[in-house]
Amino acid sequence: MRTKLPDARLSPRFSGYVTFGRYPRLQDVEPGSLPVDWSIYGVPYDSGVTFRPGSRFGPRAIRDASQYLKRYHLEHEIDLCETFSLADAGDTPVRPFSPVEMMETARVFAEGLGDRERTKLLALGGDHSIAYANIMATWKRRGSPKGGLAVIHFDSHLDTVPEVWGEKYSHASPFIRAIEDGAIDPNRMISIGIKGPLNSKHDLDFAREQGVTIFTHDQWRVEGDAFARAFVRRLEGREAYVSFDIDCVDPVFAPGTGTPCPGGFTSDEVLVLIRALAGLNVVGADVVEVLPDRDHADVTAMLAAHVAFEIMCLDAVRPKVEAMNEARDGR
């Protein structure tokens, strides 16, 4: 087992120190499991919100809910903990009163985690502004490739507002910032689950002009997961980042979030949709906008934990998918 888990005969899932998925803390990983494949870390920051704050408690809630997360993926037939060495790297330092400094602080923290070549970053939010920091850290760790990373973005909102109340680093703007910085390739970015109503008919203009593929929830209803599958194929193995805003699911499936919008995915639909991305060359990810004070029975946090698991499983299943593709293509 590459990831060492607690012995369930001694320490049931309702017992013991809480880390994401009961994975070891990064500092506790045994030498034989180094380097770590994925570092999961929290960004307990919500000063970037425009409506309902509280997602600073998101990382803690997701970790708690992840205690019941198991390791074998039934559909992919992959054991994540056998495949990868996983670790919980704790939380970034926090600067609640300065968005721009917070971005830098989080990025620097994330850049230094684990093995620069090998370890991939999965950030747990916090509000969506923190995606910018994790994208920048991921991009830099990959060598700041020209053209930037491909992005699979799940959300009700595009998050490409130039600025809000004069602030450039709010949760409405992570992608516009990352595009400006060259860390994202808008032509290889897809935003999935976008829903109305909108503030105005111009809300989508920037993303469209930049070449971002907008796959609204309405389109998904008609075209289904095939569109996402096709998008992955078009990426031809390019390095991709997955940004998952929990508000892409319906408010009933994610009551614990800050800017809910009725009419989204069910949990089942979105988990299946993520699985449909199999083959994606995922090199970094975030799961954001979990707001525990509005949650009940932990359904939002539990879903977030499973989404994080599914995203890492995309990475784990990739060799298998490629082998199948090669077999199919007669290579």
Site for a copy of itself in 31-50 (CB under 8 A): 42, 44, 46-47, 49-50
Restricting to residues 238-257, which ones interact with a copy of itself according to CB under 8 A? 250-253, 255-256
DSSP H or E segment with residue 243: strand 239-245
Q: Which is nearer to a copy of itself, 241 or 265 (CB)?
A: 265
Distance CA 325, CA 260 (A): 38
Nearer to a copy of itself, 150 or 270 (CB): 270
State the pairing for strand pair 78-79/72-73.
Answer: antiparallel
| Nearest distance from C-beta of residue 12 to a copy of itself, angstroms | 5
Does residue 260 belong to the site contacting a copy of itself (CB under 8 A)? yes
**Binding-site member from 87, 194, 232, 240 for a copy of itself (CB under 8 A):** 194
- The alpha carbon torsion through 261, 265, 267, 272 (nearest 10 deg) reads -150
Q: Counting contacts by CB under 8 A, is residue 221 touching a copy of itself?
A: yes
Taking residues 94 to 133 in sequence order and writing x for each that binds a copy of itself by CB under 8 A, - otherwise, the string is xxxxxx----------------------------------
One-letter amino acid for residue 151 of the chain: V
Closest contact distance (angstroms) between CB of 9 and a copy of itself is 7
DSSP tag of 108:
H
Nearer to a copy of itself, 60 or 318 (CB): 60
Which residue in the set 2, 34, 35, 79 belongs to the binding site for a copy of itself (CB under 8 A)? 79
Contact 33, 85 (CB under 8 A): yes
- Site map 293..322 versus a copy of itself, x via CB under 8 A: xxxxx-x--xx--x--x-------------
Site for a copy of itself in 143-162 (CB under 8 A): none
Q: Which of 30, 31, 32, 77 binds a copy of itself (CB under 8 A)?
A: 77
Residues 261-290 that bind a copy of itself (CB under 8 A): 262-264, 266-268, 271-272
Parallel, antiparallel or unpaired: strands 239-245 and 281-288: parallel
Cβ pair 216, 194 in contact under 8 A = yes
- Smallest distance, a copy of itself to C-beta of residue 108, A: 12
Structure tokens at 151: 């992005």
**Residue located via tokens 């998925």:** 21
Q: Is 101 exposed, middle or buried (0-12, 13-18, 19+ CB in 10 A)?
A: exposed
Work out whether 11 is an interface residue with a copy of itself (CB under 8 A): yes
Of the chain, the end-to-end C-alpha distance in Å amounts to: 32
- Single out the residue of 293, 290, 269, 190 nearest to residue 233, CA to CA: 190
